Every structure is written in structure tokens, then in C-alpha cells.
Structure 1
Amino acid sequence: MSTPYPFTAIVGQDDLRLALLLNAVSPAVGGILVRGEKGTAKSTAVRALSALLPEVDVVVGCRFSCGPTAPDPTCPDGPHDTGPGVCRPARMVELPVGASEDRLVGALDIERALAEGVKSFEPGLLAQANRGILYVDEVNLLHDHLVDLLLDAAAMGASYVEREGVSVRHAARFLLVGTMNPEEGELRPQLLDRFGLTVEVAASREPEQRVEVVRRRLAYDDDPAAFAARWADEEAAVRQRIVMARELLPQVRLGDGALRQIAATCAAFEVDGMRADIVMARTATALAAWAGRTGVLAEDVRQAALLALPHRRRRNPFDAPGLDEDKLDETLQEFGAPDDDPDPGPNGPGGPGGGGGQPAPDTEPQGGGSGAQPETGEDGQQPQAAGSSEQAPVRAGDPFRTKVLSVPGIGEGAAGRRSRARTEHGRTTGARRPQGVLTKLHLAATVHAAAPHQRARERSGPGLVLRRDDLRQAAREGREGNLVLFVVDASGSMAARQRMGAVKGAVLSLLLDAYQRRDKVGLVTFRGSDAQVALPPTSSVDAAAARLESLPTGGRTPLAAGLLKAHEVLRVERLRDPARRALLVVVTDGRATGGPEPVALAGRAAGMFAAERTASVVVDCEAGPVRLGLAGRLADELGGTAVTLDELRADSIAGLVRNAQGTSRRAA
């Protein structure tokens, strides 16, 4: 086993280290979500923490890590006799992004059930992580229903499995840590709320600190054991401090004053529900215990708010998480000190080691609070650069709920919420012979296939005699995420009569829908004489919204260039991810004025999509009393559907995209 990087050797990242330590002191805090760019020691810090956790006593041979002095009475491996057990280090279990539900929660041991005729539960990763750490790297890429399962287990301290005739409950108390890079897509708001704390991490911009990071990492890579030995004393001190804080935690008093401050803070920041209040209370208590105190101070409440509230106050998926610290200080000051005279504890206000484990006062606030906004004029628009012929970007109109855009047919892409697909999860629609490795057994169909042959196979025991040909794979249908490629006309004709604000609002609404349906998105714009890929296909819908907001307008309308650029983007993406189907959304008034023979060239470019049967929608942005119907004609050439901005709203019929072979088309 390789020597982990020492936790105390990590340079900077004060908030990250503090949040991890608070969860080690009190797992009831509810875990931590670490958000940040790649290369910021997220994984290193989590793995380093596992070496600091105190060792655990477990029952010999128990797959669920029951304690020998008080074993779980409902343990599937029980009943256990109380007595001496075996001491082992706390485990860190990693949940891979591609894990199945069976791997996470466990399932019926199909081999024993069919061969021996007995029910036997095969535990999953939740059982292995009991009394340790469950680490989920790139948690934002994990399927929603798996995130729900592990968050439910973390909240209840137990995992319940009811499936395939098996009913099992087992303890699942673990420190949950998820890491994610926001550039690869956000977690849904209801899942964000389920994590106790969140921390935003970023690489230091201080040269001296970066030098020290490199120096320590090179020393560790050269000789991990020697490097770890240099930090052994610091590691032992932190390990002992965790033990002391755990012992002190039940004695910490959370007075009415602290509770009032917590409630007032949550109300001031308009967080939904009561989970934030509870998490703040537990975090403030853990902070006091970590500092060696039995009373909660105002600084504990403030630090708890900075860790527990930023990811809960998001009111819109495109709003960056953050907290207004001035508003926080005003709220805490208004409601006074939490307690008149809290017990400072045996080691003074700083507790063991001093400082209370708090970040230095000059540490930059985490969570991406309210930053500087671009300068705007009286009309709310950014000023136009001197000498520029293009019009300044206009703000997007208010988003609205759009009707469903889906790709026809049944796909096999990544799990999502947009189009029909054959998936590993979803409702069972039938059974089929497995192609390759069997992943989801259809038990009834398998038994039905094997039953007629039992006499011929001379079955003599209770088990079923099976052959490979008897096995049946469950055929399931769910929803997939698609690649939604937006091709947006940013020419001068679109800016006329201030239509661009409404157009951006419509695209923003479609982006919000893509966010909710777990799609990848891309953005191609065309104006002047050419088209450009404003955003290559990505899971970060926030990035697409930001590019859309800053999109300038003006110039001619090179529609053909936009379609050809989109065709190239889709061609490359099909090579990278052939299973993910595409939905082309062209936002235009249908005019084509850029380049030689613009109309004919645009028609030929549209015909390429029709030949490949790419699902497409044209959002018709034409305005005014006289309509030329150019967008409808473009939709026919694409083999898709045209819809006006008003028709895009969800109060009209759903399901805009029709099969390319369908006969119904919008009239030009």
C-alpha cells in the first residue's frame, strides 16, 4: 500500500482542511462537497484525511464493520457476540462514476440464489464504507438516482435494500466527501442542498506559495516514506486533536442565543427548508469542540454560515454559489452575541494548538461571493467600445419554462431526462438474450427459460440447473441526455426592434431546460462574414449561459457558415461520443445575406443535416406584421420543425421534434 501524502503538509486550502476536519469530528455535519478547478489538491486532501482518522474496532469476519462492544442487532452477518474484536484503520472507499446501483447498495447474490436455491445478500460500497470515508470524485457526473441513494444513506446512517426478493438493512455511517469541477457541469440544486458543507478551492496566485507546493510535491514523489516521516509529529498531533474533539463534542452547549443567530442568518439569506439551520448548528458545535471549548461563539456561527450556506442560497441554476459576508456580519451583529459567557474550555479560546482551526483573517473568502460587475450604462447595457461597428451585447430577457424538445426514436446514450433510450436504469419493458456480459438479470424470464429443461438435466437438489442459454437480460427503458447544439443568429437583422433580448431569453430558457435534463450543450454563432464556435460541447451549461450573455450582434447574416460550422462540430462529437444523439436548435429569422449565393448555399448545408436525419428545431425569430416564412422553409430543408418564440413556451403542446420521415411539416 502506497504512503499517502500527509494532511498537514498540504499548503494553503484552509477552508478545505477545516471542513474535512469538522466532518471527522462530527460526521453528523453531513459531508462536504469540494468544488474547484483541476489540480487544486482536492483528491489529495481527502486521501490524506483517511490516514488521520482513529482506528476502529470491528467484529472479526463482519462484512459491515460492526463494533464488537455494541454490534448492530440487524446486521445481515449477525447476530454477533459482544467481545474483543480486531483493530484496523478506517477505510476510504471510492465510488467510481460508472458504478451501478448494485455496486453501490448491494444486491441478491444471483449465483447462489440460482445454484443453491438460497437468498444471500452481496454487500455494496455503502457497507464497505461504514465507519470510514466514502469518496466520490466527479460527483456531478454521477447519475442522479445514485447520488440520491448515497445521500439518503449518509443522512439516515443506514442503507435499506428492497429488491429481487431481498429485504436488508445495515448500518452505513460514513464521512461523505464529493469533489467536482464546475466546468464539467453542476449538480442539481436539490442534490447540492443534501451536502452538509461546501468549499470552493482554487490554486494560489502567490508565487511563494506555489513554489512551496511544488517543492513539497517533488520531495514526496522522490521518497514518499521519508517525506511522510518528516510530518509524522504534526500528523500525530492532529490525530490526537480529532480524538479529543470527538470526546468533547457531547459536552458542547448550543445556547438559545446561538440558535437565534443561526435562524436569523438562514432567514436573511432566504435558504429553503430547515436543513441549513440544522447543518449550521452541528457545524458550529463541531467548531467549538475542535477549538477545545464547550460553548459556541459568534465566530463559530459565522464560520458555520460560510461553510454551510453558499451552495444553498442559489436561486437560479446560473447563479454562482456565494455569500455576501457584509450582510452576514450585519445579521450576526443585529442579533448580538450567541451566549453571554461561554466556557472557553481548558485550553483557552484557541483550544489545543491555538487559533481554533480557523482560517487566517487575511484568507480570501471562499464561495465566490458577490464580485465586481461589468460597468453598465443607464440603459443597463455595457458601454460600446470606441470605433466598433458592432452593437454592444444586450441583456437576456426573463427565462421561462419551455416545452419539451426531444430526439425521435430510442437511443442508448448517457443517462439523462430528455429523450427515450435503452438504459441500465428505468422501467423494465421486457427481456432479451444478453449480448456480452450480463449486467441486469431478468430473473422471471431466466427461470421461465430454464424450467422446461430441468427433468432433462436431471435436477436432484433444490437449486435450478442453469445453462448459459437460459440467462435473460432485462430490457429497460429510461431517458437519455443529448447534445443540444445551439446555432444562434447574431446578425444585424436579429438586433432590429430590440429582438435580441427576447431571443437571448428564449435561448437561456432552453439552456435551463438542458441543465435540468442533464444534456451536453454547445454554442455556434454567426454574424458578419463567418461563424464561430462560441462554446465547444460541454456539460457546463453555466458556461454557455455566460457566453450567451456577452454575445454581440451586428453585420450580415452568413446562415450557411453557421450551419456548416455546426455540421463540423457534430461530426467531431460523433467520433468522441457516438452513443450521444444530437439535437440541433437553430435560432434565426431565416434570412441569409452573407457570402456568395447565400440562400442556395444555406439550403445545401441544411440538406446535409436532413440526409443524416439529425433532429432539429428552428426557433423562428421573425417579427413584424409582414412575415416571409424563411425560418419555416429552413426547417423543411433541415427535415425538422419550426416554432415561434411564443410557441416555445410550455403552455402549448409538447414534443416539437418529429421524425425526419414524417409527412407533417410547417408550411413555408
Structure 2
Amino acid sequence: MPLQFPFSAVVGSDDMALALVLTTISPGVGGVLVRGEKGTAKSTIVRALAAVLPPIDVIAGDRFSTDPRDPTPLSPDGPFAADAPTETRPVRLVELPVGATEDRVLGSLHLERALSEGKAEYEPGLLARAHRGILYVDEVNLLQDHLVDLLLDAAAMGRSNVERDGVSVEHAARFVLVGTMNPEEGELRPQLLDRFGLTVEVAAPRDPASRAEVVRRRMSYDTDPESFTRQYAESERALTDRIQAAQKLVAEVELRDDVLLKIAEVCAAFEVDGMRADIVTARTAVAHAAWHGRTSVTTADVRAAARLALPHRRRRNPFDAPGLDEELLDQVLGDDDPAPEPPEPQGGSEGEGTEGEGPADGRLDTDQDGSGDREPTSGTQSPSDSSSSPSDGGESAPPSTAGEAPADAAAAGDAPGRPDTTVDARTPYRPKLFTVQGTGEGEAGRRSRAMTESGRRIGSRHSTGGAGSIHVAETVRAAAPHQLARGRTSGSLLFRPDDLRVATREGQESNLVLFCVDASGSMAARRRMEQVKTAILSLLLDAYRRRDQVGLVTFRGDRAELVLPPTRSVDIAATRLEALPAGGRTPLAEGLLEAARVLRVERVRDPRRRPLLVVVTDGRATWGPDAVARARTAAAHLAGTGVTSLVVDSETGSFRLGLARDLAGVLRAEHVPVDEVSATGLTTLVHDRVHPRTTADTSTEGAA
């Protein structure tokens, strides 16, 4: 087995190491989500954690790692005799790949025995293997939502219930769940964020001396792993002993009523939703006290716990930056309960760092007061004001366009020399659902119709070695007509590999939503640009909820630009949108051709992900020779690729030229005026057309 980089040799990132240690002391905390940029050794420190955890005793031969001291073991391999043999083994680190299926996670029917012996026997999955260990999910934000829900449910309940393929099994599944993610690749939904007990932000050190030390240790380890590991052996042993002592002490720690009230005051002050924050903060504070050898929770423990348990629970939508106002935290807690000096860890000074971001055993003590040496996270808002953003169920109509100048007046902004303008979006609203035509086969999501691994079962198909749940009835039906030819006289059915059938399911997929936005002078009228940005921001928020990728192409002046390559991070897209200026001529053809180029590249990169092109424009083309003709040619080229398109018509006011509608015709796209993007606006429009109000109705309303 290859040597792991020592946990006590990682440099920096005290919060991450502290959070990992606390959740191993008290697994009821609920796991850790680590957010950070690429190259910050998130995976390195998680893999190193398993090596410093105390070994565990298990019943020999049990596939579910049952604790011999457990009076009511929940293992399908039981029951066990009182004198059943036991064995001691290291804690397992089980890695769950992003592409894992539900069968692999939960376990499923033992296919070989089902076919050869006719027995419905359960084959354990990754949750069973991770029991009493660490379940690590790298890039957890890219994992399918239903799998994340499944993991978090198991972690919260401490057991897994399997009801599938004729198997009904319940087994223990108590593990430390650790997820890592790069926010640039997309966010987790707030509902899933809240299910993680603790969250920490990590970044590479900015201090040149610290960066040099990271490189020095990494190169030393790569040159001679055995020698490097020996240097930290004593620090690793000291850390193991301290964790073991804390695990034994945690049950004896007292959480006084006055401290519990203080935890409630903190959670109320930060306006977190629900009660999970209070529970997690309390459990973390108890674990923190045990980590420092105390039998009573202090204000310092509460401060440390709040810094890890609350920041991610204050987010109201994906555009909000996570963070915690530490000045407010200090005001609520006060300084009347200074933390006593913690016991000095054994292991010496050489164990004070780690390779890219994770502190050493000794450096965990720097956070004993809950503050450490870090700069506080600001908790500033991103593009939209979260305090006024509606939740999934809420919505508000787009701003009125009454009184806006006619479209031809706004077009005066195309004139050279007019200064660029930047306008902020207003509060986003819930938009109408726009989908890709046909049936796809992309990643599971919430937008367009597709054949997926989750969803309602609509039939079966031959198994070709790919993923999919077994369709038992269809498998038996396929084998039954051949039993006589196969020589069966009695007993179990005789199966062949080509009898196997798996279920076909219809669900929904995620898509690539590519925005192609006109940022020319004709869009520069303040009310128009504000309305357009609000519509795009609303569609971005909708794309986030539906697990889409998003990209942003803009065109203005004499060129088009890919402002944001396709990504899952809609908050980055919102930031780019916020800073988008308007001014100059309208190179519509260049914008459409750049969108076609991006879609062509993405089709090669990810052929299963179908695109939805959203063109936001008033339809004008004013730059270059034959601007209108070139724009129509580019639109016809895009239409020929078969991409599903939507034209959001930004032309407003009483006088309209209808150029965007003409463009939609050439693109074979759906045409939607910008004031009808809102689901509320659309509902009102349909209602008024079906039930038109009479003059008498209007006058009655006025009188009222």
C-alpha cells in the first residue's frame, strides 16, 4: 500500500483540519464540506486523515464492520454469537466516484447468484463498506442530487435502508462524510448545503514563505516518501492518541443550559433557517471541548463551533457569498468566558504544517479561541441582493416598462462616441420553463425530457454492460421460453447472459444554457438594460436550480466575446453579468457566429449534453457591411445545426420594429418578449386573453 502524505505535514488551513478532527470525534456533527480553489490539497489532507484515526475492532468475517461491543448490531450477516471472533483493523477511507450509480452506493441484488442459483441475495454497496469509517466524495457538487440526498440521509440516520430488485435490507451506516468541491465548477443547492454539518473555505497561502515551505515538503516527500513519513511519525502518533482520548471524553462533556441558550442566541442573531444549525453547533462545541481536554463547554468552544457550522447556512440563493460576520459573533458571545489554555499536543514543532492546506496537529490549537490568525470572511453579497430574492416558491413580476423611450430613440446609443453604461439588475423572479426539444440522454437534471438512470420505469432493454437497475420480471420473461432447450427439468431457472434485462427510465436531464447577449448601444437605455439583466439573472437562477451548465457570449462594438466559457458556476456568470457594460454598434452576426463556435466545441467535449441557446437582443444589426444580411446568414447557419433556440426580445415601448421576431423566424426559435419571461407575467397574459376584462370591470376597479 503506497504511503500517504502525513496529516501533520500539511501547511496552513487550520479550519479544515479542525473541522475534520471534530467530526471524527463526534460523527453526529454530520460531516464536512470543504470548498476551495483547485490545487489546495483538499484531497491530500482528507486521505491523510484516515491514517491518524485510531484503529477499530470488528467482528471477523462480517461484511458490515459490526462493533463487537454493540448490543444491538444492525447487520444482515448476523446474528452473532457472544464469543464471535474479532479483529482489529485500520479505519477505512471509502471514495465515492462522481459517476457512481445508486446500485453501487446502496448495494443491489447479487447478480451471479440470482442467475445461477435463483437466490435473491444482497451485495453490499459503498455505504456498507464505509460504516465506522470515512466516506469521501471529491467534487461533490458534480454528484447527482438524488445521490447526495441519499448520502446525507444515511449519514444523519446512521443506517441505510435498501428496497430494490426484490431485496429488502437494513444495515448500519455510521460514517464521517467528507465532500470537497471547487465553487468555480458549480454550487450545491442551499438545501444540500444545510445538510452538511460543517463547511470550511480553503485557499492556497499568499505568504511567499509559506508557499515555499509547501513546495519544499512536497518535493521532499516525492523524492523519498519513506524518509519523509518517518520525520512525522511521532507527530502522527501524538495526534492519534489525542483523537482517541477526545473520543472517549466527549460523552462526559457537560453542555450547561446557559451555554445552550447562548448557542440559540447566536443562531437567532444570524437568522439561520430551521433548527439544524443549533443542533450542529451544540454537537461541535461539545467535540471542541473534548478535543481540548475539557469536560465543560465554554464560550470559546461555541465561537469555534459557530465559525464552522453557520457560514453556509446563511446563504439564501446561489449568488450570496458564504461567510460570517465575526464582529457580530463576538457581540453576541461577549468576552466574559475566556478559554483556558489547552493541553500541549505531543509531537514537537516539526508537525505543525501540511502540504497544501491543512494544519498540523499542533497548529490545530491555534483555533482554540475560535478566531485564529485568519482574516474574517466578509459575507458580502454577490450580484443580487439576497435579502429581497424570492425563494423557489416566491416570485415577482418584472419591472414595468411604462414611460420608456421608443425603440428608435434608444437605438441612438449605437452612435460612435456614446459612453458605455453599466446598470444593475433588479430582484430576480421565477421565469417560464424553457426546454430542449426531443428526448435526450444526458446527465440527470431538472430541465428537459431524457432517458436517465432515475425516473419512472417505462420499459426494459438488453444489458450491454452499462449502468442500470435489473428488471427482474423482464429477465425471467426472456429466459422462460428457453428452459426446455437448455435441459431444465426441475429446480431453478437456467439463465444465460443474454437474458439479462435492465430497466429503461424516463426522467429529466440538465442542459447547457448558452446566453448570447446584445450589449450594444441600443440596449443602453437604463430601464431596458435593467429589465434585460433582471431577465437573464432570473434565467441563471433557474439554470442553477435545474443543474444546468451556463455560458455567456456578448457582442458590442465590432466584435463578439466569450465572457464566460460553459461552467456550472452560475454565481460567476451573475458576477460577469453585473459588470456588463452597454454601448457601441451591434455586431449581431458576430455574436451568432461566436455562439455557433462555442456550441460546436462543447458538442465535441460533451456530446450527451444538449444545448439551449438564449439570444437576448432587439434584433438590430448595425456594424459592418451588409450587417442585416450577414446576421440572417449566421442565424440560418445556427438553425441548420438543429440547436434549440430562444430569442428574448428586448425591444420595449409603444413603437416596435419587430426585428427580433424576424430573427426568431430565421433561427426557428421561440420568440418571447422580455416582459413575458416571468412565469407570473405569462400567467397573467394567458388569463387576460382567455378571460378578457370588460370596460365595466376596469371602471369598477377604478372606483374601488
1:39 corresponding residue in structure 2 = 39
Alignment-mate amino acid for residue 61 of structure 2: G
Between 640-649 and 138-147, report the one with greater CA deviation. 640-649
- Residues 159 and 451 from structure 1, CA distance in 2 versus in 1: closer, same or farther, beyond 3 angstroms? same
Alignment-mate amino acid for residue 131 of structure 2: N
**Contact between 1:97 and 1:138, CA under 8 Å: does it hold in 2?**
yes
- Residues 367 and 21 from structure 1, CA distance in 2 versus in 1: closer, same or farther, beyond 3 angstroms? farther
CA distance in 2, matches of 1:164, 1:362: 52
- State the Cα distance separating 1:68 from its structure 2 match: 2.1
**Is 2:450 the partner of 1:442?**
no
Describe how 1:338-417 pairs up with structure 2 within 5 A. Answer: 349-353=341-345, 357-359=365-367, 363-365=373-375, 367=377, 369-370=379-380, 390-417=419-446
SS in 2 for 1:283: helix
CA distance in 2, matches of 1:43, 1:367: 23
- Residues 555 and 92 from structure 1, CA distance in 2 versus in 1: closer, same or farther, beyond 3 angstroms? same
**Contact between 2:325 and 2:378, CA under 8 Å: does it hold in 1?**
no
CA distance in 1, matches of 2:16, 2:307: 12
**Is 2:599 the partner of 1:574?**
no
Show CA shifts across 1:29-67 (max 9, x none). Answer: 111000001111111111111001110111111000012
**Is 2:45 the partner of 1:53?**
no
CA distance in 2, matches of 1:211, 1:598: 55
Show CA shifts across 1:567-626 (max 9, x none). Answer: 111011111111111100001111111111111111000001211121000001101111
2:390 corresponding residue in structure 1 = none
Describe how 1:224-303 pairs up with structure 2 within 5 A. Answer: 224-303=225-304
Among 505, 510, 513, the alignment partner of 2:534 is 505
Gaps of 5+ in 2: 346-361, 384-415, 684-704
SS in 2 for 1:311: helix
1:665 corresponding residue in structure 2 = none
**Is 2:658 the partner of 1:622?**
no
CA distance in 2, matches of 1:356, 1:442: 51
Between 468-477 and 505-514, report the one with greater CA deviation. 468-477
Among 489, 510, 515, the alignment partner of 1:481 is 510
**Contact between 1:185 and 1:539, CA under 8 Å: does it hold in 2?**
yes
Between 10-19 and 465-474, report the one with greater CA deviation. 465-474
Describe how 1:157-176 pairs up with structure 2 within 5 A. Answer: 157-176=158-177
1:383 corresponding residue in structure 2 = none
**Is 2:545 the partner of 1:516?**
yes
- State the Cα distance separating 1:358 from its structure 2 match: 3.9
- Residues 134 and 475 from structure 1, CA distance in 2 versus in 1: closer, same or farther, beyond 3 angstroms? same
SS in 1 for 2:296: coil
- State the Cα distance separating 1:411 from its structure 2 match: 0.6
Query: How many residues in Structure 1 have an aligned counterpart in Structure 2?
Result: 634
**Is 2:321 the partner of 1:320?**
yes
**Contact between 2:66 and 2:73, CA under 8 Å: does it hold in 1?**
no
**Contact between 1:324 and 1:370, CA under 8 Å: does it hold in 2?**
no
CA distance in 1, matches of 2:521, 2:367: 51
SS in 1 for 2:331: helix
**Contact between 2:14 and 2:363, CA under 8 Å: does it hold in 1?**
no
Show CA shifts across 1:307-357 (max 9, x none). Answer: 001111001211111111111111222xx757xxx9x8xxx6313438872
Between 84-93 and 492-501, report the one with greater CA deviation. 492-501
- Residues 397 and 370 from structure 1, CA distance in 2 versus in 1: closer, same or farther, beyond 3 angstroms? closer
CA distance in 2, matches of 1:355, 1:203: 17
CA distance in 2, matches of 1:227, 1:246: 29
Show CA shifts across 1:490-546 (max 9, x none). Answer: 111111253101110100000000000111110000111111111011111111100
CA distance in 1, matches of 2:240, 2:174: 20
- Larger % of helix: which? 2
SS in 1 for 2:311: coil
Among 439, 458, 466, the alignment partner of 2:495 is 466
CA distance in 1, matches of 2:303, 2:71: 38
1:7 corresponding residue in structure 2 = 7
- State the Cα distance separating 1:69 from its structure 2 match: 3.0
**Contact between 2:139 and 2:181, CA under 8 Å: does it hold in 1?**
yes
Among 560, 563, 580, the alignment partner of 1:534 is 563
Show CA shifts across 1:263-296 (max 9, x none). Answer: 1111111111100000000001111110111111
**Contact between 2:299 and 2:333, CA under 8 Å: does it hold in 1?**
yes
- Residues 191 and 437 from structure 1, CA distance in 2 versus in 1: closer, same or farther, beyond 3 angstroms? closer
SS in 2 for 1:151: helix
2:63 corresponding residue in structure 1 = 63
SS in 2 for 1:204: coil
**Is 2:199 the partner of 1:198?**
yes
Describe how 1:137-156 pairs up with structure 2 within 5 A. Answer: 137-156=138-157
**Contact between 1:485 and 1:537, CA under 8 Å: does it hold in 2?**
yes
SS in 1 for 2:656: coil
**Is 2:629 the partner of 1:600?**
yes
**Contact between 1:450 and 1:470, CA under 8 Å: does it hold in 2?**
yes
- State the Cα distance separating 1:2 from its structure 2 match: 0.8
Alignment-mate amino acid for residue 343 of structure 2: G
- Residues 367 and 100 from structure 1, CA distance in 2 versus in 1: closer, same or farther, beyond 3 angstroms? farther
Alignment-mate amino acid for residue 357 of structure 1: D
1:659 corresponding residue in structure 2 = none
- Residues 570 and 406 from structure 1, CA distance in 2 versus in 1: closer, same or farther, beyond 3 angstroms? same
- State the Cα distance separating 1:461 from its structure 2 match: 4.5
1:543 corresponding residue in structure 2 = 572
CA distance in 2, matches of 1:501, 1:326: 35
Between 615-624 and 68-77, report the one with greater CA deviation. 68-77
- State the Cα distance separating 1:630 from its structure 2 match: 0.8
- State the Cα distance separating 1:549 from its structure 2 match: 0.3
2:107 corresponding residue in structure 1 = 106
CA distance in 2, matches of 1:358, 1:168: 45
- Residues 224 and 321 from structure 1, CA distance in 2 versus in 1: closer, same or farther, beyond 3 angstroms? same
**Is 2:626 the partner of 1:610?**
no
- Residues 515 and 72 from structure 1, CA distance in 2 versus in 1: closer, same or farther, beyond 3 angstroms? same
Alignment-mate amino acid for residue 602 of structure 2: E
- State the Cα distance separating 1:547 from its structure 2 match: 0.2
**Contact between 2:29 and 2:284, CA under 8 Å: does it hold in 1?**
yes
- Residues 438 and 321 from structure 1, CA distance in 2 versus in 1: closer, same or farther, beyond 3 angstroms? closer
CA distance in 2, matches of 1:610, 1:70: 65
- State the Cα distance separating 1:112 from its structure 2 match: 1.2
SS in 2 for 1:432: strand
CA distance in 1, matches of 2:490, 2:43: 51
Between 410-419 and 449-458, report the one with greater CA deviation. 449-458
Alignment-mate amino acid for residue 234 of structure 2: D
**Contact between 1:291 and 1:355, CA under 8 Å: does it hold in 2?**
no
Alignment-mate amino acid for residue 394 of structure 1: V
2:521 corresponding residue in structure 1 = 492
**Is 2:679 the partner of 1:650?**
yes
CA distance in 1, matches of 2:382, 2:544: 26
User: Normalising by the residue count of structure 2, what TM-score does the alignment of the two structures yield?
Assistant: 0.87
Alignment-mate amino acid for residue 323 of structure 1: L
- State the Cα distance separating 1:445 from its structure 2 match: 1.1
- Residues 73 and 462 from structure 1, CA distance in 2 versus in 1: closer, same or farther, beyond 3 angstroms? farther
**Contact between 1:618 and 1:631, CA under 8 Å: does it hold in 2?**
yes
CA distance in 2, matches of 1:14, 1:355: 7
- Residues 651 and 516 from structure 1, CA distance in 2 versus in 1: closer, same or farther, beyond 3 angstroms? same
Between 440-449 and 48-57, report the one with greater CA deviation. 440-449
CA distance in 1, matches of 2:598, 2:464: 32
Superposition RMSD on alpha carbons, in Å?
Answer: 2.1
CA distance in 2, matches of 1:400, 1:311: 23
- State the Cα distance separating 1:372 from its structure 2 match: 11
Show CA shifts across 1:409-464 (max 9, x none). Answer: 00111221110111112111111223454643221111112112222322244321
- Residues 151 and 164 from structure 1, CA distance in 2 versus in 1: closer, same or farther, beyond 3 angstroms? same
Gaps of 5+ in 1: 374-386, 655-668
Show CA shifts across 1:78-98 (max 9, x none). Answer: 111233401110100000000
